[in-house]
Amino acid sequence: MNNLNICIAGAGTIGTALGNVLATKDNLDIQLLSVEENVVNDINSTGINTSYFPQIRLNSRLKATMDSEVLRSADIVFLAIPSVVVVSYIQSVSDKLKPGALLINLAKGFGNNNETIVDNLKKVVDNPVCTLKGPTFAREMINQMPTAMTVGADDDAVFLLLNKVFANTTIHIDYTKDITGVEILSILKNIYAITIGIVDAHFDSPNLRFMIFTRAFNEMRQILLRFGGKQETMFRYCGIGDFGLTALNDLSRNRTLGLLIGKGFFTDDISGKVVLEGRIAAGIISERLKTMQIPESEYFMLNELNKIFLGGYNVKRFIGNILNNDLPPVAGNGK
């Protein structure tokens, strides 16, 4: 493979971790593009991102910049910035993108008009766009632990390119053309991780945990199919792998939110400050399903969770209600 210029927009945890992994390859020129001057200065002068990984010395080949002109030479642009700003950011720098440069969305959330980020990006740029999602804690990735992710792309050539990019690194990938499925599952897993957290806060019971996990996974399947995703995508890294990681590990912010709710710490004051992806997405998904006139039996757990976010709902009732609700009927044919 010829040398490639790679720009990672965002020098937070996931952007820095990904850049550090890719910087191990001599044929890749990696630049972190950040709006945080202190982060850029720290990385370039000390080789440490003290704001996000103060105890990790980065690969000496990893450099950072605040100059978006770096995009003009980038063959691949990873988008490692918050979901709420991805689309507006790309719009602001679209004139600097190299023609044909591949854009890769790492953000997990909705874009404008409650559409997926990839759908939004396809409307604002002519560049090829794909998504990359999977069970990835940045702390694990930067410590060179084997990590798996799913590439969602229209073109097989994108997967072949990324397979070469990640070859001989600790990042392993699988592939699907179900871009919608990859994007939607990355949103749903945050929602249902909150639910698992609530249950675990009340009961330290493996039996109950995996009973609810199974029901949640089934409800995710119902919603995925309704949004046009494919059932098989649930068994990629972006599906059961990412859901398991987010729902069952305390490094997960959305699981932690569920634990706080279950322990009674979700006060009105905290509620107004919480902007985690799962909470935002729960309301959006629920409204979309209502607009589609989907029977509420297909997303019972989601509805119960939204009642908590709206306030005035006893968490103990939440657990009792989801325990007494049967698994929903199968929707569609799963294709």
Q: Choose one of 115, 144, 177: the last residue of a domain.
A: 177
Determine, yes or no, domain membership for 50.
Answer: yes
Q: From the centroid of its chain, how far is CA 329?
A: 28
Cβ-contact 173, 47 below 8 angstroms: no
Same domain membership, residue 247 and residue 107: no
The answer to whether residues 228 and 132 belong to one domain is no
Residue 326 per-residue DSSP state: P
Which residue is associated with the tokens 């509805």?
303
Torsion over CA: 280, 195, 327, 186 (sign): positive
Q: Which of 160, 177, 194 is the last residue of a domain?
A: 177
* pLDDT score, position 226: 95
Strands ordered across the beta sheet of 28-33 = 63-65, 28-33, 4-9, 76-79, 102-105, 129-133, 147-152, 171-176
Cα gap 34→42, rounded to integer Å: 12
pLDDT of the residue at 335:
46
Pair 97, 200 in one domain: no
* Residues 250 and 313 grouped into a single domain: yes
296: which DSSP letter? G
Residue 218 belongs to domain spanning: 180-324
If asked whether residues 126 and 271 sit together in one domain, one would say no
The answer to whether residues 140 and 195 belong to one domain is no
Asked if residue 330 belongs to a domain, the reply is no
Question: What tokens were used for 150?
Answer: 């799913």
Per-residue pLDDT tens digits for 229-275: 999 999 999 999 999 999 999 999 889 889 988 888 765 555 444 45
Q: What pLDDT, in 10s, does the model give residues 167-189?
A: 999 999 999 999 999 999 999 99
What's the maximum distance between 2 C-alpha atoms anywhere in the chain?
A: 59
Phi, psi of 49 (to 5 degrees): -90, 85
Model confidence pLDDT, tens digit, residues 18-36 = 999 999 999 999 999 999 9
Q: Are both 141 and 172 inside the same structural domain?
A: yes
In the chain, the number of structural domains is 2
Same domain membership, residue 273 and residue 170: no
Please report, for the domain that includes residue 61, its CATH number.
3.40.50.720
Same-domain status, 29 and 166: yes
- Same structural domain, 131 and 243: no
C-alpha angle 223/307/299, rounded to 5°? 15
Residue 94 backbone dihedrals phi, psi, to 5 degrees = -60, -30
Residue ending a domain, choose from 128, 160, 177: 177
